[in-house]
Amino acid sequence: MSDLEKQLQLGRLPPRPPGPAGGSGQALPKMRMGPGRKRDYSAVPWSQYFESMEDVVVESDSGKDTFRIYKSGSEGPVLLLLHGGGHSALSWAVFTSAIISRVQCRIVALDLRGHGETKVRNPEDLSAETMSKDVGSVVEVMYGDLAPPIMLIGHSMGGAIAVHTAASNLVPSLLGLCMIDVVEGTAMDALNSMQNFLRSRPKTFKSLENAIEWSVKSGQIRNLESARVSMVGQVKQCEGAASPGGPKTIVEGIIEEEEEEEEDENGESMNKRKKDDDTETKKDVAYTWRIELAKTETYWDGWFRGLSNLFLNCSVPKLLLLAGVDRLDKDLTIGQMQGKFQMQVLPQCGHAVHEDAPDKVAEAVATFLIRHRFTEPIGGFQCVFPAC
């Protein structure tokens, strides 16, 4: 089993309307490290946040597809979590720990096709229709005719797929629906600039640690704890490649402060010697993105066009979590005024809201579940938002 298991969420860069990968279409700024103690950018295993991992095999007349899922919890409704474009189920790791400690629920975080550790026959087909059918098929294989109450929660692209899945009635036991930082109007506006945004990212990284470091310093993921577990699902080892050194590697995105030179008793630079030792002993393997999002452009329009009305017309209770109120388009603004869904704005977050502020998102989801009497609080959790 591969040790790498997570995907991409493009960070918030003003005005950063969410596109297919959540970016704003603007080039990522170079980041400069300030002085201070060195931060730990090493990867963290999924097992620190989820209780189990398994592969769900979906069979058809034409063959088999295998979907990777991560699970936690044993009682209560199932929260089926769908990640954004380029990310993986591991983007929900820290959120999972937060929500499980607040309410009775079961977590199923799914690697969508073409992402993470899921293996399908046609990973290039990322149409909304195909991916929503995948979600329905995974639920059917897992639970058969005895599916428990399920709430679909999706971020960015995953939010769109959650809505398409609900609108097509592919999860008959659907209890509720939650979209995180995805709105049709702003998403459609962002599509024209998405290719420029994707081109601005490094194509390769010298190591997994470099990829994690870049994700935090570039603002893609503002929470280091989440980045250390989730970036594993966004990148993979380059086949047969040594450390890259081209202009589009990690070194372009980050400018390190020069360390003060220290000399040993022989007058040799200790920093230089350490770097030389690292070069000799740590032959890092290059890493690259698991999925080339630029090649998925043909599906972007289908993910988001008509999304607002599909969301509003879903009959189950609905929750919309946004990083900024500026995201609302006309249809959702009217629907919100009419009380057709509950909305919570979580400021000071990037587009990866559930990674940047997992506790706040967990509180919002827990409050929603308790408000609708879908579950019970645990651990003394009390609703914190006015809507409760």
Is residue 154 in a domain? yes
Specify the pLDDT at position 125. Answer: 96
For 4, what's the count of Cα atoms within 13 Å in the CB-facing half-sphere?
Answer: 22
Distances (CA, A) of 210 to 8, 41, 278: 15, 8, 14
Which tokens sit at 78?
Answer: 């199932």
Among 139, 93, 108, 138, residue whose Cα is nearest residue 120:
138
| Whole-number Cα distances in Å, 179 to 96, 105, 383 | 16, 18, 20
Residue whose entry in the numeric block shows the structure tokens 């007058």: 267
Higher pLDDT, 385 or 377: 377
Greater confidence, 235 or 5?
Answer: 235
What are the Cα distances from residue 5, in Å, to 2, 44, 296? 7, 10, 20
Average pLDDT over residues 366-382: 91
Query: Does residue 80 or residue 275 have the better pLDDT?
Result: 80
Quote the CA–CA distance of 88 and 84 in Å, as a whole number: 7
* Listed residue (142, 136, 139, 190) closest to 164, CA to CA: 136
The mean pLDDT value for 82-100 works out to: 97
Q: Does 244 reside within a domain?
A: no
Report the candidate in 239, 220, 355 with the shortest Cα–Cα distance to residue 288. 239
Whether residue 224 is contained in a domain is answered as no
Written in H, E and C, the secondary structure of 235-266 is EEECCCCCCCCCCCCHHHHEECCCCCCCECCC
- For residue 196, the model assigns a pLDDT of 86
Catalytic hit among 88, 351, 354, 356: 351
Residue 284, classed as helix, strand or coil, is: coil
pLDDT category, 281, cuts 50, 70, 90?
very low
Determine, yes or no, domain membership for 284: no
Query: Given pLDDT bands bounded at 50, 70 and 90, which one contains residue 266?
Result: low
Q: Given this model, what pLDDT does residue 276 score?
A: 45
Band the pLDDT of 285: cuts 50, 70, 90: confident
What pLDDT, on the 0 to 100 scale, is given for residue 36?
A: 55
The tokens describing 226, both together, are: 């989440």
Instruction: Give me the amino acid identity at 165.
Output: T
Can you give the pLDDT at residue 168?
A: 97
pLDDT score, position 273: 43
Average pLDDT of the residues in 127-147: 97
Percent above pLDDT 90 for the chain: 66
Report pLDDT for 24. Answer: 39
Using alpha carbons only, how large is the chain's radius of gyration in Å? 21
In the prediction, which pLDDT does 9 show? 34
For residue 365, the cross-strand partners are none
286-338: pLDDT as tens digits = 999 999 999 999 999 999 999 999 999 999 999 999 998 777 888 899 999 99
In a domain, 51, yes or no: yes
User: Which pLDDT value is given to residue 240?
Assistant: 65
pLDDT given for residue 284 in this prediction: 57
Pick the more confident residue, 153 or 12.
153
- Which residue, 215, 199, 129, 192, is CA-closest to 164? 129
For residues 125-130, average pLDDT: 97
Residue pair 106/71 in contact (Cβ under 8 Å)? The answer is yes
3-class secondary-structure state, position 356: helix
pLDDT of 154 > 70? The answer is yes
Backbone angles phi, psi at 327, to 5 degrees: -70, -30
The one catalytic residue in 72, 88, 156, 207 is 156
Q: So what's the pLDDT on residue 187? A: 87
Please give the angle made by the CA atoms of 189, 89 and 85, to the nearest 5 degrees.
20
> How confident is the model over 163-215, as pLDDT tens digits?
999 999 999 999 999 999 998 888 888 888 888 889 999 999 999 999 999 99
Q: Could you tell me if residue 210 is inside a domain?
A: no
Confidence at residue 381, expressed as pLDDT on a 0 to 100 scale: 80
| Per-residue pLDDT at 189 | 83
Instruction: Note if 155 is an active site residue.
Output: no
How many Å apart are CA 284 and CA 365, to the nearest integer? 40
Confidence class of residue 142 from pLDDT cuts 50, 70 and 90? very high
Has residue 363 been placed in a domain? Answer: yes
The H-or-E segment that residue 79 falls in is strand 78-82
**pLDDT value, residue 102:** 96
Could you give phi then psi for residue 269, rounded to 5 degrees?
A: -65, 120
Query: Is residue 364 included in any domain, yes or no?
Result: yes
In the set 111, 181, 207, 354, the catalytic residue is: 181
**What is the pLDDT, as a whole number, of residue 191?**
83
- Number of folded domains that form the chain: 1
What is the rounded CA–CA span in Å between residue 87 and residue 355?
11
Identify whether 181 is a catalytic site residue: yes
- Which domain range does residue 368 map to? 46-198+296-372
Contact 287, 211 (CB under 8 A): yes
Residue 267 confidence (pLDDT): 53
DSSP three-state, residue 310? helix
From 387, 301, 318, 316, select the one nearest 19 (Cα to Cα): 301
Smallest CA-to-CA distance from 221 within 97, 55, 388, 349 is with: 349
Token pair belonging to 261: 């030179």
> Alpha-carbon distance 238 to 205, whole Å?
9
Cβ(235)–Cβ(220) below 8 Å? no
| pLDDT tens string 204-243 | 999 999 999 999 999 999 999 999 999 999 999 998 654 4
143-154: average pLDDT: 96
Which range scores top for mean pLDDT: 9-18, 257-266, 368-377? 368-377
Any idea what the CATH number is for the domain that residue 363 is in?
3.40.50.1820
